[in-house]
Amino acid sequence: MSNPTAAMLVIGDEILSGRTRDSNMHHLANALTAHGIDLCEVRVVSDKPAAIEAAVRALSDAYDHVFTSGGIGPTHDDITAENVARAFGVSIGLRDDARAVLQAHYDRQGIELNEARLRMARIPEGATLIDNPVSAAPGFTLRNVHVMAGVPAIFEAMVAGVLPELTGGAPVQSRNMTVSKGEGDIAGPLTELAARFPELSFGSYPAMKDGRFSVNIVIRGQDEARLDAAMDALRGAVQA
């Protein structure tokens, strides 16, 4: 009954320094939710070999799937592939099919497949390639780890290619309602409802606009009838 689990690993100093605002996490979270896979944890680590290797190993052990973002380009700071290989103790080397994809792409553009670009054809032993319809350089899946690019357009295209191959559970549905009350006013009724519908999850998200608080209450679960019943009960409880 329970859905497959997943973690995301974002690799990149640029996120941690504040230079870049990550958007891949939000995209993947929505895509996984729609596919019936539960995103349970996200880690952001720097471009350091030990940090990448340790995070890949920990997340791969703990979850059904791991999705990584970033660090698979041609420059010296693109070290994801070799450290994913290291995490699993497999070798990495130039692979003919990846090289052919790059060669065809750069030939079409009249650009040289130089040494730096060739690095993008280095793939860990035993991996399958993930298609990159945007700029050719492939991602790959090794065991339960899906290694993808950090550039959002490429990341999103790779996610769209990978997800249909993965078995999802029942998509999690949600209902939500915004109440112009403080969280402290609806906390009591919400606790009672959460106890009455233990198979659903109840979230309460305060927001502030023009100095006034409101709360968005979100009920999530896989059974639509129960969701509707909980929503009715919530309406009765908080609008009384």
Query: Measured from the CB atom, is 76 or 108 closer to a copy of itself?
Result: 76
Min dist CB 91 to a copy of itself, Å, is 22
Cβ within 8 Å of residue 69, ≥6 positions away = 8, 9, 10, 11, 12, 22, 24, 25, 28, 148, 149, 150, 155
Query: Measured from the CB atom, is 94 or 207 closer to a copy of itself?
Result: 207
Helix, strand, coil percent content, the chain, rounded in steps of 5: 40, 25, 30
Q: 3-class SS at 192?
A: helix
Min dist CB 152 to a copy of itself, Å, is 9
Min dist CB 237 to a copy of itself, Å, is 13
Min dist CB 52 to a copy of itself, Å, is 11
Query: Measured from the CB atom, is 29 or 129 closer to a copy of itself?
Result: 29
Min dist CB 186 to a copy of itself, Å, is 7
Query: Measured from the CB atom, is 105 or 226 closer to a copy of itself?
Result: 105
171: tokens are 């998509």
Query: Measured from the CB atom, is 111 or 232 closer to a copy of itself?
Result: 111
What number of other Cβ atoms are within 10 A of residue 162's Cβ?
18
Min dist CB 29 to a copy of itself, Å, is 3
* Interface residue list for a copy of itself (CB under 8 A): 10, 13-22, 25-26, 29-33, 38-47, 51, 73-77, 111, 114-117, 119, 134-135, 151, 153-154, 172, 174, 182-188, 190-191, 194, 201-208, 213, 218, 220
How many Å apart are CA 191 and CA 204, to the nearest integer?
Answer: 11
CA geometry: angle at 24 spanning 19 and 28, to 5°?
160
Cβ within 8 Å of residue 215, ≥6 positions away = 178, 179, 181, 182, 183, 186, 204, 205, 206, 207
Query: Measured from the CB atom, is 22 or 53 closer to a copy of itself?
Result: 22
What number of other Cβ atoms are within 10 A of residue 103's Cβ?
15
